[in-house]
Chain A
């Protein structure tokens, strides 16, 4: 019995940041990295199933990214995941969620898990696509925005609750193996102590390349993607001005502003 949990190292930007010189991303100097918030919940859901089953379940976390991602994987290992897989080489650079999903699907085919959990979305790019695209590559049943899960390891079916618009819920029955994207609040994620994270360094992180997974160069990177970021920018903010002075001065300033707007 195995559960595969996909995780992502997300980036948050500083209050003052700059765009990379090519204009297609934020300058990495201004990024603070962390584990995607949703992934805490999907890992916790897997851990709950593992602990309820009493050790028969293997939880494997998988991520696509460079070496810095190991830090997030170690957090997952510290929380109790049995092992971790990271896929990366330079060809993966520039992948969109579809290309990433193709990589994860390749990992899933190797690992043959009974369940695959992903976060609903990643907090940085917010595509909410990787999980579902993976299901599509695998041809597995899937459910998005899962807020409650009833699943016993080894059973053919899982019952779950999906969060819909406007405060309604759908109860869904689903055949396994399946891909579920897990919503925030489904559980209370555990804490990974720093000591745990340090000790998790002893647990294995397998680093794989796309080619080792049988993927062609055209399957990943920009070549394997359906979309590419053209430009990243901060929209110009609206401006406000407090007009001060005597009423006469205020009127004069106001007239000037109106004229400027009219382009006089």
Chain B
């Protein structure tokens, strides 16, 4: 931009600036400084109280690699990548607010640096002339940016009626003390109006100053460098506002604006505004594998899991405060979608309220008052915790890296210790302890599925193999899944892969047992499997079960089991690329693909299955909720062992409804044994049977490999 356009060029004209506290008596200025320092004092006290609150939590080892953490945090904050996901409007508006606020903060800080720093102590000034003019323009634009962002946020709250911005709780009844959470709504509006008032008074203040000092060419001639102020000044002047009137108005407005801003600063640590610090802090200490690799605990210790609020790590306490109530987790939650009494946000907010009540006072309350489990205000219900599928949808979408799933599992660990769980789940855990599998079958029946094959499957315990196949419970014992398992065995065999299995020495991998919260049983299973794997000779592991895949890949290393493991889709994709799998014919089906949580969201295995489908000649039509936003089948977190309430829609049925909206859909493709079980069942119970079929990807691959007559081909 040409500087001359906005007024005469003014290099080094010291008069072109804004005189701070112009026309104020020294005592008034001193009074203002007193107020300012008090505001900062209150801010610091609040800041200290928050830090003290976090320090009352347990330790968490997150202080490593601080520099790279800080860099990643800065990238996320500056790019707003996480805030813009699945809500573009909010992302854009928050960028306007964030950058507006940032520029205004830097601007105000710059003035302070000159006035109370370089100028006061060294007599050095720089806030004049060209710099001052560009500065004014930047501040005006920043103010506009802030205001427009705020106005959009008001529009969202008032007119868009977003369900996720309704803070009413799904785990409480109308009439319960903490049901409607209207105080959050009031806080939202108070914040929005405060920012609007600060912004608007800032602009008006700019305008009245221009009218007041209109006779000074160093002010008036450069007025368009603050365009909003100049425009308002023009309007004011045209309504006949005199310089004296403007001067009087300016003094009053100055105090209003100043006091509002100071009040705002002092209240930051006590209100939602603190998310400036807590959210960045939470992002700073973000664990990219938070839900994939649950926290290991000392089983010999006195306690396990989260019972009291002081059992929480300081990082999880910080997480609670980082929540900005944006509701993305609630929107993504499969339990919430089918009306279960769980909203990940409500869990976080309940615990936050609990922490604020219990940990912000000078002295800690009694141990018994710190118990977060129960039906009281701020406590979390056991029904809520057991509704969770640990599908990670909440953790994955959270813009500020809150670890809902690890927190829920920690809370469940306590419930499991107390036996507070569904009797059927209790039975299943005992069964797994007794037999090593969730089907209650004897160990020696684990490899029964191999008997139907016309070739022997190598015993990897005695013969070295290239590829160790960890089969998993559902693929081993469930009769429907055994067909798929046999199909994969034939595929490996026919491709000439040297593979083997652990036979009866394989146990349930423990992924879901761990997510239930039965850490002791998990360790037993993991240690047994690791011992069996270590006794065998192999190069890498493959599994068709995403649950086993996740825990072996991400969690076994914590127990000394470090292996190279792939999901079968990756292996098959590679074999296809190498030309080792030759198709007999293309399938030409119209299909949709369901991302298993543990393969997709947990481990980013989105592409291999899709590319295989493409190679098979299938036309893939995506459901609205796909890839990272895939909708859990409802089986995760041990929920496959807990019956769903009768009369309500199950997550799997909800998913069938979504798939059925795809015109001409022929096959609903899955790549997970539990998915096959869940969705074949849901297809029947949701009344869509006959419209399309549910198939494991392996079945489609096998079909494309087999020469068939034409009638057989159409009769899917």
Interface residues of A (CB under 8 A from B): 14-15, 30, 32-34, 188, 190-191, 193-199
Tell me the complex Cα distance, A199–B524, Å.
14
Q: Of A15, A191, A198, which is within 8 A of B445 by CB? A: A15
Within 8 A of A (CB), among B512-562: 518-521, 523-524
Asked if B28 CB lies within 8 Å of chain A CBs, one says: no
* Pairwise interchain contact A195-B435, C-beta atoms closer than 8 A: no
* Pairwise interchain contact B434-A32, C-beta atoms closer than 8 A: yes
* Pairwise interchain contact B433-A194, C-beta atoms closer than 8 A: yes
Q: List 8 A-B contacts (CB under 8 A).
A: A15-B445, A34-B430, A191-B419, A195-B304, A195-B520, A196-B417, A198-B299, A198-B520
Of the 9-residue stretches B60-68, B361-369, B388-396, B421-429, which lies at the interface with chain A? B421-429
* Pairwise interchain contact A194-B520, C-beta atoms closer than 8 A: yes
Known: A188-B423, A198-B299, A199-B300. A193 touches B417 (CB 8 A): yes
Tell me the complex Cα distance, A110–B423, Å.
37
Within 8 A of A (CB), among B408-444: 416-417, 419, 421, 423, 426, 429-430, 433-435, 442, 444
Tell me the complex Cα distance, A155–B430, Å.
36
* Pairwise interchain contact A191-B433, C-beta atoms closer than 8 A: no
Chain A residues closer than 8 Å to B519, beta-carbon distance: 194-195
Q: Of B299, B300, B419, which is within 8 A of A190 by CB? A: B419
* Pairwise interchain contact B423-A195, C-beta atoms closer than 8 A: no
Which B residue sits closest to A199, measured CB to CB? B300
- Distance (whole angstroms) from the CB of B559 to the closest CB of chain A: 14
A contact face: mostly helix, strand, loop, or mixed? mixed
Within 8 A of A (CB), among B297-337: 299-300, 304
Tell me the complex Cα distance, A250–B547, Å.
52
Tell me the complex Cα distance, A193–B519, Å.
9
Known: A188-B423, A197-B520. A15 touches B442 (CB 8 A): yes
Chain B residues closer than 8 Å to A33, beta-carbon distance: 434
- Distance (whole angstroms) from the CB of A42 to the closest CB of chain B: 17
* Pairwise interchain contact A195-B442, C-beta atoms closer than 8 A: no
Chain B residues closer than 8 Å to A197, beta-carbon distance: 520
* Pairwise interchain contact B434-A193, C-beta atoms closer than 8 A: no
- Distance (whole angstroms) from the CB of B449 to the closest CB of chain A: 15
Tell me the complex Cα distance, A197–B521, Å.
10
Given A193-B520, A195-B299, 4 more contacts at CB 8 Å?
A32-B442, A191-B421, A191-B426, A198-B299
Chain B residues closer than 8 Å to A15, beta-carbon distance: 442, 445
Chain B: residues with Cβ within 8 Å of the partner, total of 23
Of B444, B445, B520, the most chain A CB neighbours within 10 A belong to B520
Chain A residues closer than 8 Å to B433, beta-carbon distance: 194
Of A33, A34, A188, A194, the most chain B CB neighbours within 10 A belong to A194
- Distance (whole angstroms) from the CB of A36 to the closest CB of chain B: 13
Tell me the complex Cα distance, A33–B430, Å.
12
* Pairwise interchain contact B434-A194, C-beta atoms closer than 8 A: no
- Distance (whole angstroms) from the CB of A46 to the closest CB of chain B: 16
Tell me the complex Cα distance, A258–B523, Å.
61
Q: Of A30, A193, A199, which is within 8 A of B416 by CB? A: A193
Of B416, B433, B442, B523, the most chain A CB neighbours within 10 A belong to B442
3 cross-chain pairs, A with B, having the tightest CB-CB distances, nearest first: A194-B520, A191-B419, A195-B520
Chain B residues closer than 8 Å to A14, beta-carbon distance: 442, 444-445
Chain B residues closer than 8 Å to A188, beta-carbon distance: 423
* Pairwise interchain contact A193-B518, C-beta atoms closer than 8 A: yes
Chain A residues closer than 8 Å to B423, beta-carbon distance: 188
Chain B residues closer than 8 Å to A30, beta-carbon distance: 442
- Distance (whole angstroms) from the CB of A200 to the closest CB of chain B: 11
Chain A residues closer than 8 Å to B299, beta-carbon distance: 195, 198-199
Known: A14-B442, A32-B442. A191 touches B429 (CB 8 A): yes
- Distance (whole angstroms) from the CB of A75 to the closest CB of chain B: 9
Tell me the complex Cα distance, A186–B68, Å.
59
- Distance (whole angstroms) from the CB of B617 to the closest CB of chain A: 41
Within 8 A of A (CB), among B279-304: 299-300, 304
Which B residue sits closest to A34, measured CB to CB? B434
Interface string of B162-187 (1 = CB under 8 A from A): 00000000000000000000000000
* Pairwise interchain contact B442-A194, C-beta atoms closer than 8 A: no
Chain B residues closer than 8 Å to A190, beta-carbon distance: 419
Which B residue sits closest to A33, measured CB to CB? B434
Chain B residues closer than 8 Å to A32, beta-carbon distance: 434-435, 442
Which B residue sits closest to A13, measured CB to CB? B442
* Pairwise interchain contact A194-B521, C-beta atoms closer than 8 A: yes
Chain B residues closer than 8 Å to A191, beta-carbon distance: 416, 419, 421, 426, 429-430
* Pairwise interchain contact A194-B518, C-beta atoms closer than 8 A: yes
* Pairwise interchain contact A194-B419, C-beta atoms closer than 8 A: no
Tell me the complex Cα distance, A195–B513, Å.
13
Tell me the complex Cα distance, A82–B550, Å.
40
Which A residue sits closest to B299, measured CB to CB? A195
- Distance (whole angstroms) from the CB of B252 to the closest CB of chain A: 67
Tell me the complex Cα distance, A197–B419, Å.
13
Tell me the complex Cα distance, A27–B445, Å.
17
Chain A residues closer than 8 Å to B445, beta-carbon distance: 14-15
Within 8 A of A (CB), among B431-482: 433-435, 442, 444-445
Tell me the complex Cα distance, A87–B299, Å.
30
Tell me the complex Cα distance, A196–B419, Å.
11
Which A residue sits closest to B297, measured CB to CB? A195
- Distance (whole angstroms) from the CB of A194 to the closest CB of chain B: 3
Tell me the complex Cα distance, A22–B207, Å.
107
Tell me the complex Cα distance, A32–B442, Å.
8
Tell me the complex Cα distance, A193–B430, Å.
9
Tell me the complex Cα distance, A119–B524, Å.
29
Tell me the complex Cα distance, A63–B521, Å.
25
Tell me the complex Cα distance, A14–B434, Å.
13
Chain A residues closer than 8 Å to B304, beta-carbon distance: 193, 195
- Distance (whole angstroms) from the CB of B521 to the closest CB of chain A: 4
Chain B residues closer than 8 Å to A199, beta-carbon distance: 299-300
Tell me the complex Cα distance, A32–B445, Å.
13
Chain A residues closer than 8 Å to B430, beta-carbon distance: 34, 191
Tell me the complex Cα distance, A32–B523, Å.
21
Chain B residues closer than 8 Å to A196, beta-carbon distance: 417, 520
Which B residue sits closest to A79, measured CB to CB? B419
Tell me the complex Cα distance, A195–B522, Å.
10
Tell me the complex Cα distance, A198–B300, Å.
8
Tell me the complex Cα distance, A33–B521, Å.
17
Tell me the complex Cα distance, A197–B433, Å.
11
Which A residue sits closest to B302, measured CB to CB? A199
Tell me the complex Cα distance, A225–B296, Å.
51
Of A30, A195, A196, the most chain B CB neighbours within 10 A belong to A195
Tell me the complex Cα distance, A198–B429, Å.
15
Chain A residues closer than 8 Å to B524, beta-carbon distance: 194
Tell me the complex Cα distance, A68–B433, Å.
15
Tell me the complex Cα distance, A196–B434, Å.
16
Chain A residues closer than 8 Å to B421, beta-carbon distance: 191
Which B residue sits closest to A191, measured CB to CB? B419
- Distance (whole angstroms) from the CB of A173 to the closest CB of chain B: 32
* Pairwise interchain contact A194-B523, C-beta atoms closer than 8 A: yes
Tell me the complex Cα distance, A194–B434, Å.
11
- Distance (whole angstroms) from the CB of B504 to the closest CB of chain A: 11
- Distance (whole angstroms) from the CB of B417 to the closest CB of chain A: 5
Tell me the complex Cα distance, A32–B440, Å.
10
Tell me the complex Cα distance, A114–B127, Å.
91
Chain A residues closer than 8 Å to B429, beta-carbon distance: 191
